Amino acid sequence: MTNLPTIALGDARVGFRGRILALDMSRAPGTGLPSEELERRLLELGFVEGATVELLHQGLFGADPIAIRVAASTIALRRREAMAIVVTEETSS
Amino acid sequence: MNASSELAPTVALVGNPNCGKTALFNTLTGSRQKVANYPGVTVEKKIGRLATPAGHAVQLVDLPGTYSLRARSPDEEITRDAVLGRLEGEGAPDLIVCVGDAANLRLALRLVLELKHVGRPVMLALNMMDIARRRGIEVDVARLSIELGVPVVSSVAVRRGGTEALLGELDRVLAHLPPPTTADWQPPDAAALRGAQRDADRILRLAVRAPDRRDEGTKRADSILLHPVLGLVILLAILFVMFQAVFAWAKPLMEAISTGFTWLGAAVGELPLPALLKSFLKDGLIAGVGSVIVFLPQIIILFFFILVLEDLGYMARAAFLMDRIMGGAGLHGRAFIPLLSSFACAIPGIMATRVIDDRRDRLTTILVAPLMTCSARIPVYTLIISAFIPDREVWGVLGLQGLVMFGLYAAGIAGALTVSFVVKRLFWRGSIGEPFMLEMPDYKLPQAKSLLFGVWSRALAFLQRAGTTILAMMILIWLLASFPQPPDGATGPAITYSLAAMIGHAIEPLTAPLGFNWQINVALIPGMAAREVAVGALGTIYSIDAGEGAAEKIGQALVGQWSLATALALLAWYVFAPQCASTLAVIRRETGGWQWMAITFGYMLLLAYLAAFATYQIASALGAA
């Protein structure tokens, strides 16, 4: 593995492909949910370390919300919550 | 079936949203199903019966979709409590069938692992196996079963014979039901969820071979339908067609129903019955029920559209496109469709708020839905506008009458957005609200059978409501308008001697600042049954016979009796007033209590009073008195 920089999924642009490195709730303050609850909800929708992600679509205003391909499902969420998902870019194929 | 089927084993269907669980339920039970409500909540309880090939009678329960037993919405609480046997008067199911979309098993496998902790036998049904195969996904069913430690069968809900394997397995499992073990389920914390998902991912790698590409059709469709600009344009076009359908297609049917009830009323009027009984049957029962049933075509068409969009998988996309726009006013993206529906009638709109998971978001939407200008306001608006607003052009192109009508719609929308904004800031301050997180399923063609069942059960729910709560309200309003009876030799219309008239006189000091005379107050009382009834009531009070050209004659009478300021104040009143008993009854039912109904009534009354007061006072000051 190369040492590509890590970014928050909430900062990624359409077309971004990568892999989840960690869930870090401290990066997504003020989501309206306690951090433990936010983490569980992200996990329940399949955002687990090691899963592949791809940013497929974004909304018109503020490029928000975003549609993320995670493994084999597509999940819509807001960038505010996606800030908690730490990813690294993968350029394979 | 017979009474002994009470002892039939209960099988619960559990699964992620969009896994095709309801289609499977419909196929397995056919018409042998009923929809009830769980006590105290508005979550639908769907139960059906089926017979297995070996002749076992089975009671099948379709539970709301969930990703985890860790309940986050009232729907998911039901799933958790039903599975754990915590529901009052109901035991735990004898068998849990977890339904998973064969093409998207990752989250379903984690749910299976969680379900194994509830102490009941579990099996996994791989649904929509045909679609998975077509997409080149291979599932090693035997391996999956070994790794998960539960029986696994494949099923195709929508094809004849597609459920044979499932039914056969049901027989095998039910013949040797293991004794229930003790439940050791605990709400999983983050570490447990993470561990379970890793385990599920491991099993998935062992048992499922899937090509690493998305569903081509969905990919292509989303590149257009979720395009930031084009997507919104298409959404608006879809809404326009839907709107058009609700108004245009429903119209002939509504007119037919209305004519039917008028005919029925007239027929009853001919019967040799005491006048009072005749009035009760004709003006209370038939007119009252008729004024509600007349909305049935609109409700059916509206729900048809909503269900088609939902089954297609488009609803999640609509919420995605609208989330940011609705969010500005403190509303959830999913509130969009219910509010739109409310332009036809607030009743289906409020019923449609069930798609909103978060309770607070749902309550805000229910609270403001009646402010959307529904079709029942149109007759009142038309009457007053055509009588009082001169038919001339402004700036050369726009008609003044049309402009006023547009202004009334705009006032309703602005009111709804303001109220939801204030509610969010004032009452639920500090809570930012539910994050927007939802799965966008692959597009699928809706199944005619599922659509039919869905529309049918909604129409039935509406009719049941019309037959109970709404009917009771209608009768109450008739009583108010009919008693006491006019004395012998009375010359005025009967309603002027009634309790409604007394109330009208009594509250005149209150409504005088709005420019409302007692006649308007009286008309507002039957107008509670349905807004447009006020038009007929005004006719009665001003002694105008119903019939050809009645509305025009009422209009002419009003011009002689009211000032322009009064007319404008009444329009302002109608934008906001809680003038619809049916809507209030539905709010009570959908929120499960009187509290939210009272709050809606209270705030709308206040807004209506303030709006009418301001309108009358300003218009009078400008010389319209």
- For residue A7, give how far its alpha carbon lies from the nearest alpha carbon of chain B (Å): 20
pLDDT at position A2 over 70? no
Q: In Å, what is the CA distance from B271 to each residue of B279, B282, B290, B394?
A: 11, 11, 19, 53
Helix (H, G, I), strand (E, B) or coil at B491: coil
The whole-number pLDDT of residue B624 equals: 66
- Other Cβ atoms within 10 Å of B334 Cβ, number: 28
The whole-number pLDDT of residue B1 equals: 36
- pLDDT over 70 for what percent of chain A? 95
B432 contacts in chain A (CB < 8 Å)? 30-32
A34 contacts in chain B (CB < 8 Å)? none
The whole-number pLDDT of residue A17 equals: 94
User: Are B247 and B375 within 8 A, CB to CB?
Assistant: yes
Q: Looking at the partner chain, which of B106, B197, B438 has a beta carbon nearest the beta carbon of A43?
A: B197
| Structural domain contains residue A27 | yes
pLDDT at position A47 over 70? yes
Answer yes or no: do B222 and A51 touch at CB < 8 A: no
Q: Looking at the partner chain, which of B226, B432, B437 has a beta carbon nearest the beta carbon of A45?
A: B437
Containing structural domain, residue A17: 6-89
Q: Looking at the partner chain, which of A49, A64, A67 has a beta carbon nearest the beta carbon of B324?
A: A64
Q: Environment class of residue B622 by beta-carbon count within 10 Å: exposed (0-12), middle (13-18) or buried (19+)? A: exposed
A77 contacts in chain B (CB < 8 Å)? 435-437
Supply B26's token pair: 């419909």
The whole-number pLDDT of residue B35 equals: 66
DSSP summary character for residue A87 = E
A38 contacts in chain B (CB < 8 Å)? 435
Rounded to whole angstroms, the Cα distance separating B483 from B481 reads 6
Q: Looking at the partner chain, which of A45, A56, A78 has a beta carbon nearest the beta carbon of B67?
A: A45
The whole-number pLDDT of residue B2 equals: 39
Cβ–Cβ contact A15 with B under 8 A:
no
Answer yes or no: do A67 and B104 touch at CB < 8 A: no
The whole-number pLDDT of residue B203 equals: 95
Answer yes or no: do A76 and B320 touch at CB < 8 A: yes
The whole-number pLDDT of residue B206 equals: 93
**How many domains is chain A partitioned into structurally?**
1
What residues of chain B, 333 to 372, have a C-beta less than 8 Å from chain A?
333
Beta strands at A85-89 and B44-51: parallel, antiparallel or unpaired: unpaired
| Structural domain contains residue A20 | yes
Find, in chain A, the residue whose alpha carbon is nearest to that of B114.
A44
pLDDT at position A93 over 60? no
Taking CB atoms within 8 Å and a gap of at least 24, the contacts of B25-30 are: B25/B60, B25/B62, B26/B157, B26/B449, B26/B450, B26/B453, B27/B157, B27/B158, B27/B162, B27/B163, B27/B449, B28/B60, B28/B163, B28/B166, B28/B167, B29/B60
The whole-number pLDDT of residue B37 equals: 59
pTM of the entire predicted model: 0.80
The residue whose two tokens read 């209960």 is B10
Smallest CA-to-CA distance from B504 within B485, B486, B524, B483 is with B524
B497 φ/ψ angles, rounded to the nearest 5 degrees? -100, 0
Answer yes or no: do B325 and A48 touch at CB < 8 A: no
Best to test chain A binding among B428, B431, B440, B443 (most A CBs inside 10 Å): B440
Cβ–Cβ contact B319 with A under 8 A:
yes
DSSP summary character for residue A21 = E
Averaged pLDDT, groups of 10, chain B, 625 residues long? 58 90 85 64 75 88 89 80 83 92 92 92 92 90 94 84 86 82 84 94 92 85 94 88 75 86 85 82 76 77 84 88 83 81 81 77 90 81 84 76 84 90 76 76 87 82 69 76 77 77 87 88 78 73 59 78 90 89 84 88 94 93 75
| Structural domain contains residue A81 | yes
Cβ–Cβ contact B191 with A under 8 A:
no
Find, in chain A, the residue whose alpha carbon is nearest to that of B215.
A72
The whole-number pLDDT of residue B456 equals: 85
| Structural domain contains residue A72 | yes
| Structural domain contains residue A1 | no
Q: Looking at the partner chain, which of A31, A62, A67 has a beta carbon nearest the beta carbon of B320?
A: A67
| Structural domain contains residue A32 | yes
More confident residue, B497 or A12: A12
DSSP summary character for residue A66 = E
The whole-number pLDDT of residue B5 equals: 42
CATH number for A48 = 2.30.30.90
Query: How many inter-chain contacts (A to B, CB under 8 Å) are there?
Result: 118
